[in-house]
Amino acid sequence: MSFEGKRLVIVGGGSGIARRIAVDAGAAGAEVIWAGRHPAVLVERGVRAAFADLGEESSLKALAEEVGEVDFVVSLAAAPANGPVATLERAAVARAFDAKVVGPLMLAKHFAPRFREGGAMVLFSGVAAWRPAPERTVMATTNGAVVFLAEALAVALAPVRVNAISPGIVDSGAWDGLGEAKAEFFRRTADANPARRVGRPEDVSAATLHLLANPFVTGSVLHVDGGGRLG
């Protein structure tokens, strides 16, 4: 698909998924601005880095003013607040909602008047919303809220299209902290998935670009999880 002449803003996402979206969109002709709290690390050939903090509305307003007119906005940020309910800290829960729900809503607020014809947003949910687990209560709740936010924004911002992506377990770098246990975790995940493998960043990138480009899809969630939510 061609994104020639299109301007794409990516917000958040320190793993391989955001980077792959930036690279693939750029290769398809898009002008890409990748924004985050540490813009110096968002270095990719042909990609412009900018500052944005989904927990600070003023930074999102400034980002919108800096970018100007835009075609597409993708929000991938997350701030997990995992652990038993009895040990959860309110500040951590608030940060999780800022990253997944409140921040993207403020993005919509400040970019809404700047979308060109055919504009679209993609928000990132996750498989935890459909497969809640112990110590993942906040993750399941915020990811579920993203889907309802996408539906609501699809109506509120129309004709700007708004959709959600729900990735499953993806080998994006986010799991590298498991060390030697990563291979076994991926093996068990692949065995349980109907697709019989874990995801790769290019799987999620292709789905994201499809949602941005398809003019007749809005208010939807696209599961890119290998069927993991069905297990």
Residue 126 confidence (pLDDT) above 90? yes
pLDDT at position 161 is 98
| Cα–Cα distance for residue pair 205/209, rounded to 1 Å | 6
Residue 151 confidence (pLDDT) above 80? yes
pLDDT at position 99 is 97
- Please, which residues have CB within 8 angstroms of residue 31's CB and are 6 or more apart in sequence? 6, 7, 8, 48
- Does residue 5 come out as left (phi exceeding 0), alpha (psi in the -120 to 50 range) or beta? left
The model's pLDDT over 184-208, given as tens digits with 9 standing for 90+, comes to 999 999 999 999 999 999 999 999 9
In this prediction the pTM is: 0.95
The model's pLDDT over 24-76, given as tens digits with 9 standing for 90+, comes to 999 999 999 999 998 877 777 789 999 999 999 999 999 999 999 999 999 99
pLDDT at position 27 is 94
- 85 half-sphere exposure, CB direction, 13 A CA radius: 6
pLDDT at position 129 is 97
The number of beta carbons lying within 10 Å of the beta carbon of residue 185 is 13
Local structure of 224: helix, strand or coil: strand
| Cα–Cα distance for residue pair 100/181, rounded to 1 Å | 28
Residue 35 backbone dihedrals phi, psi, to 5 degrees? -115, 140
Residue 228 confidence (pLDDT) above 90? yes
* Percent of the chain whose predicted confidence (pLDDT) is above 90: 90
pLDDT at position 46 is 84
| Among the listed residues 73, 12, 83, 64, the one whose alpha carbon sits nearest the alpha carbon of residue 42 | 12
* Percent of the chain whose predicted confidence (pLDDT) is above 70: 100
